[in-house]
Structure 1
């Protein structure tokens, strides 16, 4: 199987827009996948972490299991006290 290409740093802003768009279309799995690709390249990208957390909470509504450990780890990576509280 060929190796998948990693997202280039220059493509991150467009990828974030796409992830947020998928959330608005009620497609949290697609948004989650895009955010994970972004975080593989830029692990501290705050906007990607927030969007990923929101995508995970969107999945609660659909009845999917979401790891509490994963959400807590993501929350700990947020730098802003405001974002963590929100």
Structure 2
């Protein structure tokens, strides 16, 4: 098995393959979407559509407790986006999804609060740069704020020193 090599897709099939990656994400199979994106990168290493799907599929795994998520892969991929707006927007999505995954653990709720606040800051920046009629950063910002309120999240409290 060690001598097997990956087969390359044709450049002309990228659009169809991208659609398959989107379908696998919607079927909650992020690992398959990630694999497809890697196949696209093998023939077009700067494909921005594949990069967005790859980032989203990696962040989809944050909600799967059994999944091992490589946060550096996510942040490194975000840096490759050509648009400053998209870099801020997807940084916000990464931070938001990371915060949502922390909500599942009672000891991590204050860290979730911090994550939502960081995501909100990224969405505020993205909102200022958004293309006309693009409400996505606003929707994400509002969702983060509503989650903070609904979950009654609070910032971490410094423990008083005992004298």
TM-based fold match above 0.5: yes
- Per the alignment, residue 20 of structure 2 pairs with 18
- Per the alignment, residue 67 of structure 1 pairs with 70
Select 1:4's aligned residue among 6, 21, 37: 6
1:4 Cα shift? Answer: 3.1
1:69 Cα shift? Answer: 1.4
The whole-number CA distance in structure 1 between the counterparts of 2:25 and 2:55 is 11
Q: Cα deviations across residues 3-62 of structure 1 (Å, max 9, x unaligned)?
A: 332011001000000000100011101000000110111011000000000001111111
The whole-number CA distance in structure 1 between the counterparts of 2:76 and 2:56 is 14
Q: Give the alignment's TM-score, normalised by structure 2.
A: 0.51
Kindly name which structure, 1 or 2, has the bigger radius of gyration based on alpha carbons. Answer: 2
- Per the alignment, residue 31 of structure 1 pairs with 33
Select 1:50's aligned residue among 52, 56, 65: 52
- Per the alignment, residue 82 of structure 1 pairs with 85
Q: Give the alignment's TM-score, normalised by structure 1.
A: 0.93
Relative CO higher for 1 or 2, CA cutoff 8 Å, sep ≥ 6? 1
1:66 Cα shift? Answer: 1.2
What residue ranges of structure 2 are gaps of 5+ in the alignment? Answer: 90-163
Q: Is contact 2:59-2:74 (8 Å) kept?
A: no
Runs of 4+ in 1 over 2 A off after TM superposition: 1-4
The whole-number CA distance in structure 1 between the counterparts of 2:55 and 2:20 is 15
- Per the alignment, residue 43 of structure 2 pairs with 41
RMSD (Å) for aligned C-alpha atoms = 1.1
1:2 Cα shift? Answer: 4.3
Q: Is contact 2:34-2:54 (8 Å) kept?
A: yes
